[in-house]
């Protein structure tokens, strides 16, 4: 678990299913990601992928929760999606985040990703992290610029689990 001034970041658990389902079914959330709302089945598979990624790689996406009330604000972290995209990421983990619209514009992504990147740098010896986004502008988001999205994780032999 990682704590910041306003947030708690932790790996996903089965009990997060309803929050994941709600987040990925929101048309505002998926508009610039896939453009398609996730079904209940899609969200279940996503949650299991998040949990499995931690098990297989000791790295993955974190739940972003409000430190005061535990409310699910979104998710962020590193995943190796093995996407068939151009240019290829060559097996590198991607950095990413997605937030509930109620958390947009409040610096949550910046705070969360700064904490996650700092944690990963200390525990995984990061050198480069690719980031991708679907945006309507050619300019990187404030969160991408501020998070320093230019490192790639290299696994250490030490356990990296928070």
pLDDT digits (tens, 9 = 90+) for 130-141: 555 444 433 344
Q: What are the pLDDT tens digits along the chain (162 aa)?
A: 999 999 999 999 999 999 999 999 999 999 988 899 999 999 999 999 999 999 988 889 999 999 999 999 999 998 888 878 888 777 777 889 999 999 999 999 999 999 999 988 887 655 555 555 444 433 344 444 444 444 333 333 334 455
Whether residue 154 lies inside any domain: the answer is no
Rounded to a whole number, what is the largest CA-CA distance in the chain?
41
Output the pTM of the full model: 0.77
Whether residue 157 lies inside any domain: the answer is no
How does pLDDT run across 58-89, given as a tens digit for each residue? Answer: 889 999 999 999 999 999 998 888 878 888 77
Q: What does the block give as tokens for 48?
A: 């299991």
For the domain that residue 25 is a member of, what is the CATH number? 3.40.630.30
The answer to whether residues 61 and 50 touch, using CB atoms and an 8 Å cutoff, is yes
pLDDT > 90: percent of the chain: 54
Whether residue 76 lies inside any domain: the answer is yes
Name which of 119, 121, 130 is nearest 154 in CA terms: 121
Domain that holds residue 12: 2-147
Whether residue 120 lies inside any domain: the answer is yes
Whether residue 98 lies inside any domain: the answer is yes
Angle, in degrees to the nearest 10, between helices 40-57 and 17-24:
120
Whether residue 155 lies inside any domain: the answer is no
Q: How many domains does the chain have?
A: 1
| 30 Cβ contact list (under 8 Å, min separation 6) | 24, 36, 37, 38
The answer to whether residues 102 and 88 touch, using CB atoms and an 8 Å cutoff, is no
Whether residue 104 lies inside any domain: the answer is yes
Whether residue 156 lies inside any domain: the answer is no
């Amino acid at each position: 678990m990682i704590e910041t001034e306003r947030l708690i970041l932790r790996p996903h658990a089965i009990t997060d299913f309803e929050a994941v389902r709600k987040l990925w079914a929101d048309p505002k959330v998926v508009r610039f990601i896939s453009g398609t709302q996730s079904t209940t089945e899609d969200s279940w598979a996503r949650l299991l992928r998040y949990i499995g990624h931690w098990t297989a790689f000791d790295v993955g996406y974190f739940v972003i929760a409000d430190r005061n009330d535990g409310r699910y604000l979104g998710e962020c972290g590193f995943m190796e999606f093995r996407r068939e995209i151009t240019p290829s990421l060559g097996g590198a983990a991607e950095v990413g985040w997605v937030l509930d619209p109620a958390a947009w514009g409040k610096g949550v992504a910046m705070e969360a990703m700064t904490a996650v990147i700092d944690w990963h740098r200390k525990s995984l010896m990061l050198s480069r992290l690719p980031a991708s986004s679907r945006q309507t502008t050619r300019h990187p988001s404030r969160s991408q610029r501020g998070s320093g999205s230019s490192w790639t994780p290299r696994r250490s032999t030490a356990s990296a689990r928070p």
